[in-house]
Structure 1
């Protein structure tokens, strides 16, 4: 198996969560819980792709592609939450609500120091462009995952 496709997928998989972290640190975009969940499959994919390059195992490259597609699936779920098509399955995605019977002081003490961003509030990287970070991730993950699977199949056809 040619190592270049596997190493390319490893780099592309690692770039996505690093880019998201960069937008968080340097642009000030706050991630929600679903945003953070979308990053994990990329790290798994990067590790699998590196193993594929080292062992020349094309099945590992296929698994890396499937891991990236898991991120696309989470992004699709996130897009639906952003659009109001369905509620988020994660309780940490909900905006804080007041509880009856508690005093204002008790409610303030119960709040986290840094409020979580609700998952139904989309983050936009480019002002004026109505494409959320979740939508961008969906497209990116679909392309990278599809590319990994295509290259894996091509490696199998070559008999390598």
Structure 2
């Protein structure tokens, strides 16, 4: 006998809550301020936790589908962020570096003063060769799978 839809939803929502707590722990206890892409990755987890809260009272298929879509959204942002960190593509201009050749001293100074404090294209922490963005992507894909099982459960 497998897990019920409600149990699966609770497991997936708990996973999102754990990832949020870890992110806030790195930020507030570890002193690692998040870049804008890091913050963007948190919002779909909030939706996943909210879907889990709704699942305590009723779990129509739409709630499981919303939870799965939220997990896929944060995985996609995490994948995009990973690509920015690894230099596969450029990130948002608000949190990545750009070339400085051909700039005057005044233009360079203005660019330095306008630069974000936390850049999206730098990896401040990694485990087993994966950054936090990469781990978020991998784990969120697992959570999407759990939400999918909840969606399919009877």
Q: Shorter chain as normaliser: what TM range?
A: 0.7 to 0.9
Bigger RCO of structures 1 and 2 (CA < 8 A, at least 6 apart): 2
Aligned pairs, number = 149
Change (3 A) 1:50 1:130: same
In 1: Cα distance, 2:105 partner to 2:16 partner: 48
Q: In the TM superposition, what is the alpha-carbon distance from 1:103 to its structure 2 partner?
A: 8.1
2:71 aligns to what? 68
- TM norm structure 1: 0.79
In 1: Cα distance, 2:122 partner to 2:105 partner: 28
In 1: Cα distance, 2:16 partner to 2:41 partner: 12
CA contact (8 A) 1:92 1:116 kept: no
2:35 aligns to what? 32
1:3 aligns to what? 6
In 2: Cα distance, 1:120 partner to 1:10 partner: 29
- TM norm structure 2: 0.81
In 2: Cα distance, 1:57 partner to 1:8 partner: 16
Which blocks of at least 5 consecutive residues in structure 2 are unaligned?
A: none
**What pairs with 1:54-133 in structure 2 (closer than 5 Å)?**
54-88=57-91, 90-95=92-97, 100=104, 102=106, 107=110, 110-111=113-114, 115-126=116-127, 129-133=128-132
Change (3 A) 1:96 1:85: closer
In 2: Cα distance, 1:46 partner to 1:21 partner: 15
Q: In the TM superposition, what is the alpha-carbon distance from 1:56 to its structure 2 partner?
A: 2.5
Which blocks of at least 5 consecutive residues in structure 1 are unaligned?
A: 156-160
In 1: Cα distance, 2:16 partner to 2:37 partner: 18
1:134 aligns to what? 133
